Chains A and B, each alone.
Chain A
Amino acid sequence: MSVKVGQKAPDFEANAYIDGGFKKVKLSDYKDKWVVICFYPGDFTFV
Protein backbone atom coordinates (compact mmCIF):
# COMPACT_ATOMS: atom_id res chain seq x y z
CA MET A 1 0.00 0.00 0.00
CA SER A 2 1.42 3.30 -0.96
CA VAL A 3 0.43 6.86 -1.69
CA LYS A 4 1.04 9.13 -4.65
CA VAL A 5 1.37 12.85 -5.09
CA GLY A 6 -1.77 14.42 -6.53
CA GLN A 7 -3.94 11.95 -4.66
CA LYS A 8 -5.95 12.31 -1.48
CA ALA A 9 -3.94 11.73 1.68
CA PRO A 10 -5.29 8.72 3.60
CA ASP A 11 -7.10 9.75 6.76
CA PHE A 12 -5.98 8.37 10.11
CA GLU A 13 -6.52 8.77 13.81
CA ALA A 14 -3.80 8.55 16.45
CA ASN A 15 -3.10 9.26 20.08
CA ALA A 16 -0.73 12.17 20.36
CA TYR A 17 1.28 14.03 22.93
CA ILE A 18 0.91 17.82 22.80
CA ASP A 19 1.35 20.66 25.31
CA GLY A 20 1.92 18.36 28.26
CA GLY A 21 -1.18 16.27 27.59
CA PHE A 22 -2.61 13.56 25.40
CA LYS A 23 -5.20 13.92 22.69
CA LYS A 24 -6.61 12.17 19.65
CA VAL A 25 -5.52 13.59 16.33
CA LYS A 26 -7.33 12.99 13.06
CA LEU A 27 -6.05 14.16 9.71
CA SER A 28 -9.61 15.09 8.76
CA ASP A 29 -9.59 17.61 11.64
CA TYR A 30 -7.09 19.58 9.54
CA LYS A 31 -9.39 20.09 6.58
CA ASP A 32 -8.77 23.41 4.79
CA LYS A 33 -5.25 23.64 6.19
CA TRP A 34 -1.79 22.92 4.87
CA VAL A 35 -0.35 20.00 6.81
CA VAL A 36 3.11 18.48 6.99
CA ILE A 37 3.41 14.96 8.36
CA CYS A 38 6.93 13.97 9.42
CA PHE A 39 7.61 10.28 9.95
CA TYR A 40 10.83 9.35 11.74
CA PRO A 41 12.29 6.09 13.04
CA GLY A 42 12.04 6.71 16.73
CA ASP A 43 12.26 8.94 19.77
CA PHE A 44 15.74 9.30 21.25
CA THR A 45 17.44 8.74 17.90
CA PHE A 46 19.97 11.21 16.69
CA VAL A 47 19.17 12.71 13.33
Chain B
Amino acid sequence: MASVAARYNELQDLGVEVLSCSVDSQFTHKIWQEVELSKMVDGGVPFPMMADTGGKIGSLYGVYDEEGGVNIRGRFLIDPDGVIQAMEVLTPPVGRNFAELVRQVQAFQHVRKTGEPTPAGWQPGKKTLKPGPELVGKVWETWKIGD
Protein backbone atom coordinates (compact mmCIF):
# COMPACT_ATOMS: atom_id res chain seq x y z
CA MET B 1 0.00 0.00 0.00
CA ALA B 2 2.78 2.37 0.94
CA SER B 3 4.49 1.88 -2.42
CA VAL B 4 1.34 2.93 -4.27
CA ALA B 5 0.76 5.82 -1.90
CA ALA B 6 4.31 7.10 -2.37
CA ARG B 7 3.85 7.41 -6.13
CA TYR B 8 0.15 8.24 -6.10
CA ASN B 9 0.83 11.56 -7.83
CA GLU B 10 2.01 9.68 -10.95
CA LEU B 11 -1.40 8.02 -11.15
CA GLN B 12 -3.19 11.29 -10.45
CA ASP B 13 -1.27 12.86 -13.34
CA LEU B 14 -2.73 10.12 -15.54
CA GLY B 15 -6.22 10.79 -14.17
CA VAL B 16 -6.38 7.50 -12.28
CA GLU B 17 -8.23 7.08 -8.99
CA VAL B 18 -7.11 4.41 -6.54
CA LEU B 19 -9.18 2.36 -4.11
CA SER B 20 -7.54 -0.12 -1.77
CA CYS B 21 -9.44 -3.01 -0.31
CA SER B 22 -8.90 -5.48 2.50
CA VAL B 23 -11.20 -7.25 4.93
CA ASP B 24 -10.06 -4.94 7.74
CA SER B 25 -12.57 -2.42 9.06
CA GLN B 26 -12.31 1.28 8.30
CA PHE B 27 -11.34 1.70 11.95
CA THR B 28 -8.37 -0.62 11.56
CA HIS B 29 -7.40 1.28 8.40
CA LYS B 30 -7.41 4.49 10.43
CA ILE B 31 -5.08 3.08 13.06
CA TRP B 32 -2.75 1.55 10.44
CA GLN B 33 -2.57 4.92 8.72
CA GLU B 34 -1.83 6.72 11.97
CA VAL B 35 0.71 4.40 13.53
CA GLU B 36 2.52 3.11 10.46
CA LEU B 37 1.63 4.28 6.95
CA SER B 38 1.93 7.96 7.81
CA LYS B 39 5.52 7.24 8.91
CA MET B 40 6.35 5.42 5.67
CA VAL B 41 4.83 7.94 3.28
CA ASP B 42 4.57 11.67 3.73
CA GLY B 43 0.92 12.36 4.54
CA GLY B 44 0.03 8.65 4.58
CA VAL B 45 -2.25 6.87 2.13
CA PRO B 46 -4.11 9.54 0.14
CA PHE B 47 -6.85 7.35 -1.37
CA PRO B 48 -9.91 5.60 0.14
CA MET B 49 -9.07 2.42 2.04
CA MET B 50 -12.17 0.28 1.78
CA ALA B 51 -13.43 -2.09 4.44
CA ASP B 52 -14.45 -5.29 2.70
CA THR B 53 -16.39 -6.91 5.51
CA GLY B 54 -16.67 -10.64 4.96
CA GLY B 55 -14.78 -10.37 1.68
CA LYS B 56 -17.92 -9.48 -0.28
CA ILE B 57 -16.13 -7.30 -2.80
CA GLY B 58 -13.21 -9.71 -3.00
CA SER B 59 -15.66 -12.50 -3.78
CA LEU B 60 -17.19 -10.43 -6.60
CA TYR B 61 -13.72 -10.05 -8.11
CA GLY B 62 -12.61 -13.63 -7.48
CA VAL B 63 -9.82 -12.75 -5.05
CA TYR B 64 -11.36 -13.69 -1.70
CA ASP B 65 -9.67 -16.67 -0.08
CA GLU B 66 -12.30 -18.29 2.09
CA GLU B 67 -9.84 -20.50 3.90
CA GLY B 68 -7.69 -17.60 5.05
CA GLY B 69 -10.61 -15.20 5.32
CA VAL B 70 -8.65 -12.54 3.41
CA ASN B 71 -8.39 -11.03 -0.03
CA ILE B 72 -5.32 -12.11 -1.97
CA ARG B 73 -3.29 -9.56 -3.93
CA GLY B 74 -5.40 -8.53 -6.88
CA ARG B 75 -5.08 -5.41 -8.96
CA PHE B 76 -7.79 -4.37 -11.39
CA LEU B 77 -7.59 -1.54 -13.90
CA ILE B 78 -11.01 -0.21 -14.87
CA ASP B 79 -11.57 2.20 -17.77
CA PRO B 80 -13.96 5.19 -17.84
CA ASP B 81 -16.73 2.94 -19.23
CA GLY B 82 -16.44 0.72 -16.16
CA VAL B 83 -14.83 -2.12 -18.10
CA ILE B 84 -11.98 -4.12 -16.58
CA GLN B 85 -9.01 -3.72 -18.91
CA ALA B 86 -6.33 -5.45 -16.85
CA MET B 87 -6.05 -7.65 -13.82
CA GLU B 88 -3.12 -9.13 -11.98
CA VAL B 89 -3.50 -11.57 -9.11
CA LEU B 90 -0.62 -12.72 -6.90
CA THR B 91 -0.43 -14.95 -3.86
CA PRO B 92 0.32 -12.96 -0.71
CA PRO B 93 4.13 -13.29 -0.31
CA VAL B 94 5.05 -11.33 -3.46
CA GLY B 95 4.32 -7.64 -3.78
CA ARG B 96 3.39 -5.86 -6.98
CA ASN B 97 5.47 -3.69 -9.27
CA PHE B 98 4.17 -0.14 -9.36
CA ALA B 99 6.08 0.77 -12.52
CA GLU B 100 4.24 -1.93 -14.46
CA LEU B 101 0.91 -0.55 -13.30
CA VAL B 102 1.83 2.89 -14.64
CA ARG B 103 3.02 1.36 -17.92
CA GLN B 104 -0.25 -0.51 -18.34
CA VAL B 105 -2.30 2.60 -17.61
CA GLN B 106 -0.31 4.54 -20.23
CA ALA B 107 -0.69 1.75 -22.78
CA PHE B 108 -4.45 1.34 -22.24
CA GLN B 109 -4.96 5.08 -22.37
CA HIS B 110 -2.98 5.21 -25.62
CA VAL B 111 -5.11 2.44 -27.12
CA ARG B 112 -8.31 4.14 -26.01
CA LYS B 113 -7.23 7.44 -27.57
CA THR B 114 -5.69 6.22 -30.81
CA GLY B 115 -7.02 2.71 -31.37
CA GLU B 116 -3.44 1.58 -32.00
CA PRO B 117 -2.47 -1.65 -30.24
CA THR B 118 0.77 -1.51 -28.28
CA PRO B 119 3.33 -4.30 -28.59
CA ALA B 120 5.08 -6.12 -25.72
CA GLY B 121 6.91 -3.83 -23.32
CA TRP B 122 5.56 -0.69 -24.99
CA GLN B 123 6.35 2.63 -23.33
CA PRO B 124 5.01 6.05 -24.31
CA GLY B 125 6.80 7.31 -27.40
CA LYS B 126 7.60 3.81 -28.65
CA LYS B 127 6.32 2.24 -31.83
CA THR B 128 2.76 0.90 -32.06
CA LEU B 129 1.26 -1.52 -34.57
CA LYS B 130 -1.33 -0.78 -37.25
CA PRO B 131 -3.26 -4.01 -37.65
CA GLY B 132 -4.58 -4.88 -41.09
CA PRO B 133 -4.15 -7.46 -43.84
CA GLU B 134 -0.83 -5.95 -44.88
CA LEU B 135 0.64 -6.52 -41.41
CA VAL B 136 -0.07 -10.25 -41.36
CA GLY B 137 3.22 -12.10 -41.40
CA LYS B 138 5.07 -8.78 -41.59
CA VAL B 139 5.28 -7.78 -37.94
CA TRP B 140 8.97 -8.77 -38.08
CA GLU B 141 9.57 -6.04 -40.66
CA THR B 142 8.06 -3.22 -38.63
CA TRP B 143 8.67 -4.21 -35.03
CA LYS B 144 11.54 -5.91 -33.24
CA ILE B 145 11.72 -7.21 -29.69
CA GLY B 146 13.03 -4.33 -27.64
CA ASP B 147 11.55 -1.67 -29.96
Chain A residues at the B interface, C-beta cutoff of 8 Å:
1-10, 12, 14-20, 22-23, 25, 27-28, 30-45, 47
From DSSP, what is the main secondary structure of chain A's interface residues?
loop
Q: A16, B50: Cβ atoms under 8 Å?
A: yes
Closest to B28 in A: A43
**Given A43-B32, A45-B92, A10-B61 contact (CB < 8 Å):** yes
From DSSP, what is the main secondary structure of chain B's interface residues?
mixed
Count A-B contacts at CB 8 Å.
175
Verify if B93 is at the interface (C-beta below 8 Å from A). yes
Q: B73, A33: Cβ atoms under 8 Å?
A: no
21 residue pairs bridging A and B, Cβ less than 8 Å apart: A2-B61, A5-B84, A5-B85, A5-B87, A8-B82, A8-B83, A14-B52, A15-B26, A17-B27, A17-B51, A28-B82, A34-B105, A36-B11, A36-B78, A39-B22, A39-B74, A40-B73, A41-B68, A41-B92, A44-B32, A45-B92
Report, nearest first, the 10 A-B pairs whose CB atoms are least far apart. A2-B62, A16-B48, A17-B29, A14-B50, A47-B95, A43-B32, A39-B71, A39-B74, A10-B60, A17-B26
Tell me the bound Cα distance from A6 to B57 in angstroms.
19
Question: Pick the contact of A33 from B15, B25, B49, B56 — CB < 8 Å?
Answer: B15
Question: Pick the contact of B109 from A34, A36, A38 — CB < 8 Å?
Answer: A34
Q: A15, B51: Cβ atoms under 8 Å?
A: yes
Q: A1, B59: Cβ atoms under 8 Å?
A: yes
